[in-house]
Amino acid sequence: QERMNIRVTLKAIGFFLMVVIGIPGNFTILAVFALIKLSNGKLLSTDIILTKLAFVNLLIVLVKGIPQAFTAIGIRKLFNDNGCRAVLLLYRVSRALSICMTALLSCYQSIIIAPSSNRWRALKQKMPQKLVFIMIILWCVNIFIYSWTLSFSFAQLNSTTTEYTLNLEFCFVVFPSFQFYIGNGTLYLFRDFLFVGLMVLASGYIVFILYQHRKQVKGIRSSDRGQETRAETRAAKAVVMLVALYVILFGLDNIIWIYTLQLSKVAPEISDARVFFASCYSAISPILIIATNKKIQTARNIPNVSSHSKLLRNILL
């Protein structure tokens, strides 16, 4: 009983902190870029990706952090079967897109700081034009991937429940067989490792380019360096830190996930830990983005604010 009380207390504290930090953090990013859009009508491609990342992270906090926080204080029956299916689909798609947007951000930033050769120049020109199309494809693919598991999600367990069940406490995911259970986990692991691999490779290339650049400008006074170059370098470093944060949390999440694939019944403590680490990025990453993004830090100084954006600025600031 004492062990259970400790688990419930830690779970409640963890998920309530996630909600308290994640909602204002992601909303701030969305509000600042909305303010910039309303003020001068222009967002850079990096800003668009960060906006989409903040949006899916906000969804994760809302549909995962809040239900988990409520279950920790004893509120269990939050949804019916259809509600569970909607919430779990939204969470899974949002989490997948959080991975995808971070990978897209790191890949785009690596292209931006790459040397201006003919090959890279063409890619630099085409990438911003294709950005919205890429995002739509990522949304569609992930919705398709997760839609087939909707029939496995239930609000309550019944007498015909198999042993291959994920207990999320406010909802249950009941797989009909061991093959479905392993296949589901393997598919998501493959997808996650693919995009994490992309972001790691892109970040590695960014670090290499920054190292080469540092050697080239060594001895040159800071005032003699181009303002645009300094901005790109600062943005690139921020992306590398963002990827490093994700890889750490991803590693913890998937170590636990691989372990659970070997079990027929997953203990609540293990499930809580995995869900927490899987959702942590959505609450912590806004802090890193806000701390490293000059536009967000100087939001008070945005010029030419139109009447449509004054209310938003007042809410934000």
Residue 305: per-residue pLDDT:
45
Rounded to an integer, the average pLDDT of 76-100 is 88
Query: What integer is the mean pLDDT of 300-306?
Result: 52
Residue 104's pLDDT is 93
Rounded to an integer, what is the distance from CA 132 to the centroid of its chain?
A: 18
Cα–Cα distance for residue pair 50/22, rounded to 1 Å: 15
pLDDT band at 306 (very low <50, low <70, confident <90, very high): very low
Cα gap 206→198, rounded to integer Å: 12
Q: Which of 111-115, 164-168, 183-187, 278-282 has the lowest mean pLDDT?
A: 164-168
Q: Can you count the helices (H) and strands (E) in the chain?
A: 10, 3
Burial class (CB in 10 A: 0-12, 13-18, 19+), 131: middle
pLDDT at 100: 92
**Of the listed ranges 67-71, 113-117, 185-189, 222-226, the one predicted with least confidence:** 222-226
The arithmetic mean of pLDDT across residues 296-312, rounded, is 56
Question: Using 50, 70 and 90 to split pLDDT, how confident is the model at 115?
Answer: confident
Q: What are phi and psi of 127, to 5 degrees?
A: -60, -50
More confident residue, 46 or 233: 46
| Tens of pLDDT, residues 143-184 | 988 887 788 888 877 665 566 777 777 788 888 777 887 787
What are the chain's domains? 2-157+164-316 (1.20.1070.10)
Compute the mean pLDDT over every residue in the chain, rounded to the nearest whole number.
80
Question: What does the DSSP assignment read for the chain?
Answer: -HHHHHHHHHHHHHHHHHHHHHHHHHHHHHHHHHHHHHHHS---HHHHHHHHHHHHHHHHIIIIIHHHHHHHTT------HHHHHHHHHHHHHHHHHHHHHHHHHHHHHHHHHS---HHHHHHHHHHHHHHHHHHHHHHHHHHHHHHTTGGGEESS--TT--S-EEE-SS-EEE-SSHHHHHHHHHHHHHHHHHHHHHHHHHHHHHHHHHHHHHHHHTTS-GGGS-HHHHHHHHHHHHHHHHHHHHHHHHHHHHHHHHHHTT-SB--HHHHHHHHHHHHHHHHHHHHHHHHH-HHHHTGGG--S--HHHHHHHHHH-
- pLDDT tens string 176-230: 777 887 787 788 788 888 888 999 999 898 888 887 777 665 555 555 455 555 6
Is-contact 173 207, C-beta < 8 A? no
φ, ψ for residue 176, nearest 5 deg: -70, -20
pLDDT surpasses 50 at 307: no
- The pLDDT score that the predictor gives to residue 268 is 67
Nearest residue to 154 (alpha-carbon basis) of 69, 96, 95, 88:
88
At 314, is the pLDDT very low, low, confident or very high (cuts 50, 70, 90)? low
Confidence of residue 309 (pLDDT cuts 50, 70, 90): very low
**pLDDT higher at 227 or 291:** 291
What pLDDT is attached to residue 266? 64
